[in-house]
Each structure stands twice: as structure tokens, then as C-alpha cells.
Amino acid sequence: MASSLETTFSREWLRRGALACALWPVSLLFRGLAGMRRAAFAAGLSSSERLPVPVVVVGNIFIGGTGKTPLTIWLVDALRAAGFSPGVVSRGFGSKDAAPREVGPASTPAEVGDEPVLIAARTGCPVFVGRRRAAAGRALLAAHPGVNVIVTDDGLQHYALARDIEIVLFDGRGVGNGWTLPAGPLREPPSRRRDFTVVNTPELAPALAAAVAPPGSGPGAPWQMRLAGAVAERLAERAQRMPLAELARQAAAEGQGGGLKVAAAAGIGNPGRFFAMLRAAGLQPQELPLPDHHDFNDRPFAAIEADIILVTEKDAVKCWQIEELRNDPRIWVVPVSASINPALADQIVEKLRGRTPA
């Protein structure tokens, strides 16, 4: 039922149909309350804690996933290349503990969330999770005093933590129907101020750029982010790799009486983005979209007839925890990396230089 409701709202939020229009009066109330809450923090009526190092927030106003984790990984790498020592703070979706907790090599998605596990593995930088991000930031700095900038994965609306730079991320869905919850997919209106706007899309059309960065939302045009993957790695043995181009060649032979049958599964905010990337690589997999943060304990691959099942890195960290899936030779992981104009990193670093001696 939850999956059906998610599908219904995801579809309705892209247009102004009957359901969205019926909910529009409620969305006005939601928008007003969200604005009042933000204004209270801005006016000092609600307390906001400032950490002793600069804080960069990577977040979104579009509910669900837009690609924040790849952007966070890109940003950590860019800051490190510029001479900073970054750390990452995250809420940790599904984390059992409210108190701050460091993500270590033995941490599981059930303990700290799937995205923090992936960020820690990909970047090697300190990662802490906690419901209160300011407390998580303090704990991170206490454990790693050499860290001189903190990146928060999500947390755009977590105003209890003061921030120096805000990056708002969209994907190809733009602002949907442009309305706030529950009539639309937005937590805040598109005009919300921010320092940088990034759009995760293969093609940044002028209409999309204007929708996500309207006048008054912040300086400059939006930056385009592209996600790409070139290889698949077997889940059971990540050192075993196959170029996607070679996989596509072998799969193409399937219609000639041989070859490989390929399926793809994605439990992310926008599964279509993953499937589109695979199609761009020449694959035509059977598609299995799953809810965001799917835990895979329902064994979704049991009934799939395929020689290879491609999954995202975010899903792989959860599949690895289940012995049956970890040992399933059909499951292969497709790592992706973000590509953004390096000038964005230069501008972020320039802003940080004015706030830190690093």
C-alpha cells in the first residue's frame, strides 16, 4: 500500500491534476508554516548552533532523492584537492541511534543508514550520523580535530545547524508541478534563497534551468551535474569487473539465441535516472524500480529470470548484509561518479577561504 501511494503521489506531483488541486489549500498552509519556521531561525527566535568550522549543506527542496550522495562525494574530493580536511555529517536514514555515531568499516546500513556507509567507503573521510546534526558535528570535530570543514549530506531544512554555504540540488524532474507538500513535491518554494543551484541531468534545457533557479533564489545560473558509470562490479567480488559496453554487447546477442539476460533494480529516489544511464550505455535491461531506501529483506530478485542484475552502490551496501544476496552471482554493482564544471568547486572554495584560515 505504501509503495502504491508513493507511486500515485510521485505521478500526481508532476502535474496539476485533480488530486493536486484538491490538496492545494493544504499546501498553502504547509508553505506558510515552513516559511514561519525558517523566519524564526533567521530572526534568532529559534536557536541555531554555529560550529567552529565552516559548514556546507548539500540538500534539496524536492522530496526524495535527487543525487545528493554523489554530489557530496564529489564535493569532499574537491575540497580535499583544494587543501581542506573535510568531514561529513548525515542524519542516517533508518539509523537506530539518536546520539551521534561514527561510521566505521564495520558499520551497517541498519545502524547508520545506507548513504553514510557509501560516503565513508568512497571518500575515506570521517563520517558521523545523528538526528541532531549540530551534535553530530561536535562529535566529529572532537574525534577528528584536524577536520576544518563539514559537509552535511541533506539537512537543508535542519536550521538548528548554522551553515555558511547552501547547495540546492534538483534532477530532471525540476520542481514538479511547482507546489509544496502535499499538493506538490516541494518542501519549500522554488524561490528559496541558496548559494548554489545544481541540476542532476544529462541535458540542462533552458526551461528546466529557469524553473529550478528563478530570479531571487540566489546568484548565478544553475550548474549541471552528470552521473556516469562505465563498469559493473560483481557484488560478491568487487575486483571482478566488466565494462558496461562489453555487457551491452553480450546482452545484444540474447535475441540471437545466446547472450545475457540483464535486469536492473534501483531503490533510490528516482530509479528512472539509473535506468536511463544504463540505456545510454547501450543496455536494455528489465527494470525493477523499488522504493527509496528499500531494505531488500523481501528478496525482490527471487522471481527475476536474469543472468545479471545490476544495482546501484547505495542498494549494494544493503544487499551485502543479506547472505543470500551477497552470494548471488547474478548481482553486479554499477558505481557512478558525478561530473561538474570545476569552476563550481573554485567558487565554493573561494567562499570558504573567507571563513577559515585553511
| Residue 261 known to bind ligand | no
Beta bridge partners of 182: none
Q: Cα 350–352–357 angle (5° rounding)?
A: 105
| Residue 68 known to bind ligand | yes
Is residue 299 within 8 A of residue 209, CB to CB? The reply is: no
227 contact partners, CB below 8 Å, separation of at least 6:
67, 70, 200, 273, 277, 336, 337, 338, 339
Share of the chain above pLDDT 90, in %: 81
The cell numbers describing 261, all together, are 539476460
Cα–Cα nearest to 188, from 23, 33, 16: 33
- Alpha-carbon distance values, 70 to 132, 141, 191, 353 (Å): 23, 23, 24, 24
| Residue 64 known to bind ligand | yes
| Residue 354 known to bind ligand | no
Is residue 277 within 8 A of residue 227, CB to CB? The reply is: yes
| Residue 66 known to bind ligand | yes
The cell numbers describing 278, all together, are 544504463
| Residue 63 known to bind ligand | yes
Q: What is the pLDDT of residues 117-128, one digit of tens each?
A: 999 999 999 999
Segment 333-342 shows an average pLDDT of 96
What's at 227, amino acid-wise?
A: L
| Residue 322 known to bind ligand | no
| Residue 314 known to bind ligand | no
Alpha-carbon distance of 6 to 93, in angstroms, equals: 17
The mean predicted confidence, pLDDT, of the chain is: 92
Give the 3-state secondary structure percentages of the chain, helix then strand then coil, rounded to 5: 35, 20, 45
Q: How long, in residues, is the chain?
A: 358
- Domain spans of the chain? 10-85+148-226+339-353, 230-335
Between residues 29 and 291, the one the model is more confident about: 29
Q: What is the pLDDT of residues 60-113, one digit of tens each?
A: 999 988 999 999 999 999 999 999 999 999 988 767 677 899 999 999 998 999
pLDDT score, position 219: 85
